[in-house]
Amino acid sequence: MQQQALDWLKSGDQIGLVPTMGALHAGHDSLLQRARRENNRVVVSIFVNPRQFGPNEDFHRYPRPFEDDRARLERLGVDAIFHPPLEQIFPPAFKTSIDPGPLGMVLEGAIRPRHFGGVLTVVLKLFELTRPTRAYFGQKDFQQVVLIRQLVRDFSLPVRVVACPTVREADGLAMSSRNAYLDPDQRRVAPAVRQALEAAALAFGRGESDAVRLESQVRDALREAAVEHVDYVAVVDETTLSRPARAQSGNIVALAVKLGSTRLIDNVVLGAERF
């Protein structure tokens, strides 16, 4: 993979990387399509990264339909599918890991303390192996995007991190490979996650800027929809992840909830023309 990437770069091609854990859906397709528009070559990596799963999370049952994914990517016309075995990415002698720092200790990092160290470690290795000009990530995982941009800055990596809009089901639920875990009753409740965020965005558009009240509005909407387990609801600065007293355009309202054993995350950008 690395030699192929170096050959492409030597010939003047630009490389777009779409890192995935497989179980591909239309959200991944949108990343790939943008990568195709902006680069000569497109690489999609498929690697279920054990380092970003906690000890009681779903690493062993995470869906791995590789043949379906390969057929999908071949239809979409990627230049390379990088699907390395675990021992190639993390051989037994592998000792190094990335510390995400303070930005990795809040929101998702507070709930999943190992998560972002595992993400950044594998992303750095994928960048070295695929040598992308641009790498594409979904806005649904906005904190991940913030941290990967920090990684790129801190290590002076020659990669542009491109955040792409969240792709949603017809009822507003953000597309995720884990949506397949939802049972029918949970799936009927799941659109309330997006609806609660939209209500906060609309309130902001009408002039509400108090962060506490915006967060309370989201929590109230989730409670009314019978979403009982809320990990967090937070208004944060889109770069520093700090919590402003008064929300401003561009700030993020982020949340994480659990429906049964399935964890859903989502967010909305305040002041955006479209939610």
pLDDT at 209: 97
275 by Cβ neighbours in 10 Å (0-12 / 13-18 / 19+) ranks as middle
Q: What is the pLDDT of residues 194-210, one digit of tens each?
A: 999 999 999 999 999 99
How sure is the predictor about 228, in pLDDT bands with cuts at 50, 70 and 90? confident
| Per-residue model confidence as pLDDT tens digits over 8-18 | 999 999 999 99
Residue 14: helix, strand or coil by DSSP? coil
Cβ proximity of 186 and 158 under 8 Å? no
For residues 45, 41, 129 and 174, what is the CA-based torsion angle, rounded to 10 degrees?
A: -30
| pLDDT tens column, 63-102 | 999 999 999 999 999 999 999 999 999 999 999 999 999 9
Per the listing, tokens 């490389």 go with 15
Q: What is the side-by-side order of every strand in the sheet holding 229-236?
A: 229-236, 252-259, 262-269
pLDDT per position as a tens digit, 42-60: 999 999 999 999 988 999 9
Residues 6+ apart with CB under 8 A from 128: 2
* N- to C-terminal Cα separation, the chain: 38
The per-residue pLDDT for range 90-101, each reduced to its tens digit, is 999 999 999 999
Q: Does residue 274 surpass a pLDDT of 60? A: no
Catalytic hit among 28, 83, 115, 229? 28
Q: Which residue has the tokens 């309370």?
A: 216
Active site residue 28: yes
Q: If we measure between CA atoms, which residue out of 106, 118, 138 comes closest to residue 232?
A: 106
CATH code assigned to 177-268: 3.30.1300.10
Residue 172: how many CB atoms within 10 A of its CB?
17
CB 109 within 8 A of CB 142: no
pLDDT confidence of residue 273: 59
- Where exactly does CATH 3.40.50.620 map onto the chain? 2-164
Share of the chain above pLDDT 70, in %: 99
> How high is the pLDDT of residue 275?
44
Mean pLDDT (the chain) is 96
- In the chain, ranges of CATH 3.30.1300.10 domains: 177-268
Residue-level pLDDT at 272: 84
CATH code at 2-164: 3.40.50.620
